[in-house]
Each structure stands twice: as C-alpha cells, then as structure tokens.
Amino acid sequence: MHVVICGGGAIGASTAYYLSRRDVAVTVVERTGIACAASGKSGGFLARQWSDGLPGEELARRSFDLHAELAAELGGDAWGYRRLTTYAGHADPWEHSHRKGYDVAWLSDGVTVTQEIGSPGNTAQVHPGLYTRAMMQAAETHGAVLRLARVTGLARDRNRVTGVQIEGGDVIQADAVVIAMGPWSILAAMWLPLPAIFGLKGHSLVFDTGTSVPAEAAFLEYPDSGETLSPELFPRPDGTTYVCGISGEEPLPLDPAAVMPDEKSIARLERLCANVSPVLASAPIVARQACFRPIARDGVPVIGDIPGVENAYVATGHSVWGILNAPATGEAMAELITENRASRIDLEPFRPNRLPPLDPARLRRAVQGA
C-alpha cells in the first residue's frame, strides 16, 4: 500500500509517522517546507482536559497521552516536551504595585494571577516546529519519503482516487490520499466534496528570555483600546518565550510563504508584552510572525474518509489545538486507512459530510481571481 499525504504540518507528519510504523509506504507532498506555517509558529501548548464536554474530548485526552508516549519513546527533549503549571489572571497596564494572587515572579506587579488552571499532570508543551520535524524524521526512518512540490489536483478513475497531481504534470500514484494542508485544505474542495476550511490569522512573538523562567504558562486578560485581549505566554526549555494574543480575519494567501505579520498588530503585541512582564520588556525579540489556523464552520475538526470518493481522506480544521491533537489524529488516520476504522477514538463527530460541501466551480473562480 502507498499513501500520499498532502501537507507537511503536524497533522500530516504525525499521520506519516503512524502509517510508517505499520510498514505502509508513505509520501508526504509539501509545497514549502515541513512545519512552514501554523505547525511551526504556534504555541505548542497541550491540555488534557480542556476539551472535556466538547466533541474533541476523546481526541484531546488520547492525544495528550500520546505526546507523553512519543516523548518517552523518541526523546521528547529534542522537541522541548515538558510538563507545565498553568495560570490564569488579568493585567492592569496602569497598576504597578503588588496585588493579591499567585506569585508568578516573572510577570509584572500589575498582573494578578487569580487561579491555577493546569498542573503538570494535565498541561504540557512542545516546540511545534521541532515536534513536527521530529515526527517527519521518525517517519523517514521507517521508510517515508518527503517530496517538495505543489499539489495541483488528484488523479481519479471514476469515483476512486488513484494519485496526486503535482506542478509540472507528474502524478504520484497512490492507494490512498490524505488531505492535511491546514487552511489550504480548502483548495482540495475543487477536487473533492469537502466543506469549507477557513484560516484565522494570529500573530506571535518569540523572546530570548534565557532558561531562568520556570515551566509556567500564563493565560491573561488585558484591557487595550476599549477591548480585552487574551495573551498567552509560554516559556520554553530552550530559553525562549512565545507570546500570542492578537487574531484577525484576513484573506488567506494561496502561497504559505506569503503569510506576513501585520506591523500594527505586532507593535500592539510588543507593547502588551512590555507591560505584563519585565522579563519580556528587557529580552531581545527573535521572531515576529503570523500564521493562519485552520477552522471549520462549526469549530470542530474535519477527520475521516470522504463520502462518495474511494481512497480519499481528510484531516484538518483543528484550530488552536492542532499540535495537541496531531498524534491522536495521525494514529486514527493510520487505523482508518489500514483497518477501515479507528479503534482508539470515535471519528463520528468529525466526519466530513456533517457540513455541506463547497461548490467547486465557485471556489475555482475565486482562486483564479486571487
């Protein structure tokens, strides 16, 4: 069996890993580079129980546990895996005296930490880009192949997918094809009956803060210009600290390499960081960046086989939980492709046909006019 995975992000790389562990021949087709988009620019925060009561509960719990297993088996220090204590609080930019609450020394006096919302038993982190590249490398160790190319379509024999067309006219023959292109999965709706996958743009900064900042994540509320922002701060074991907190709706570029941060959003985030932490205020900024997170209309991932088309599968739409849910998604896809069912989690809440498919002709016109 030969499976072609379209997309070299965390979902695609994890799927490649779990398929390769089953001795399946895998080719990952990636346009720009492994972890080039959200999988390399997200926070990498992991929470076992934050999806409880939602469709993603089983997926999140299984995936959190798999992250720990992968770290133990493959050496998670290489991708910054560690357990965290996680706090919530609120910031007053004009307050400079100590306030009551938990003592999180690296935050400003104007930040009140009100509760511990995660312990090392149920929250953790990875460096998302390093994790994704490690999964791809592990898959390659088991025989998977990475091919840098732009997917332009699918080869079909009636209602059966037989391969992937790439720029230049070549066709990579396949017994199964997985669409895992993040927000760019919407392009596959020109070839398959898929629902809309949107891209929500988020901005982030990475600071060189040194290794003295403890393993503590912080989720804050911050008043700014009449609205309340929700910055998330994640110190990493490599001595950097990742901060995000400003999102917006902008058109998704057709080329992932064309995604650029908005200068005003970055400047706003820099001011926020200087106010919430003296450590951040004095630390060099090593990355100013943006990415588009994939999200379906109902906010639930789209995972499974594509009805009406044999040998076609999709795994996308994980929004802010793509890194968390990558291992369990990859495991489930490997089971589904090789055994015709996922045994560890129920994929019914994520079935692609729960949402109406896009009109391929309309999408094609929109892409041609972009």
The pLDDT, as a whole number, for residue 364 is 86
Average pLDDT over residues 191-207: 97
Q: Give 269-290 pLDDT, tens digit per residue.
A: 999 999 999 999 999 999 999 9
Q: Give 11-40 pLDDT, tens digit per residue.
A: 999 999 999 999 999 999 999 999 999 999
Q: Of 64-68, 103-107, 204-208, which gets the smallest average pLDDT?
A: 103-107
- Does position 370 have pLDDT exceeding 80, yes or no? no
Block residue for tokens 């990742």: 242
List the structure tokens of 163. 């391969």
Average pLDDT over residues 312-323: 98
Q: Give 101-158 pLDDT, tens digit per residue.
A: 788 999 999 999 999 999 999 999 999 999 999 999 999 999 999 999 999 999 999 9
Phi first, then psi: give them for residue 54, nearest 5 degrees. Answer: -115, 165
Residue 306: how many other CB atoms lie within 10 Å: 22
Task: List the beta bridge partners of residue 6.
Answer: 29, 179
- Does position 64 have pLDDT exceeding 80, yes or no? yes
- Does position 97 have pLDDT exceeding 60, yes or no? no
> What is residue 90's three-state secondary structure?
strand
List the structure tokens of 250. 């902008």
Residues 156 and 171: their CA atoms lie apart, in Å, by 11
- Does position 215 have pLDDT exceeding 80, yes or no? yes
Q: Of 252-261, 303-312, 318-327, 359-368, which gets the smallest average pLDDT?
A: 359-368
The answer to whether 299 and 319 have CB atoms below 8 angstroms apart is yes
Q: Which residues neighbour 169 within 8 Å (Cβ) at sequence distance 6 or greater?
A: none
The pLDDT, as a whole number, for residue 95 is 62
The pLDDT, as a whole number, for residue 50 is 98
Q: Give 147-177 pLDDT, tens digit per residue.
A: 999 999 999 999 999 999 999 999 999 999 9
Q: Looking at the structure, give the CATH architecture of the domain made up of residues 85-119+199-295.
A: 2-Layer Sandwich (3.30)
Is the domain covering 2-75+126-196+297-369 a CATH 1.10.357.10 domain? Answer: no
The average confidence (pLDDT) of the chain is: 96
Block residue for tokens 């990636």: 30
Which pLDDT band holds residue 365 (cuts at 50, 70, 90)? confident
The pLDDT, as a whole number, for residue 140 is 99
Please report, for the chain, the start and end positions of each structural domain, with discontinuous segments joined by +. 2-75+126-196+297-369, 85-119+199-295
Average pLDDT over residues 62-67: 99
Q: Of 17-26, 57-66, 242-251, which gets the smallest average pLDDT?
A: 242-251
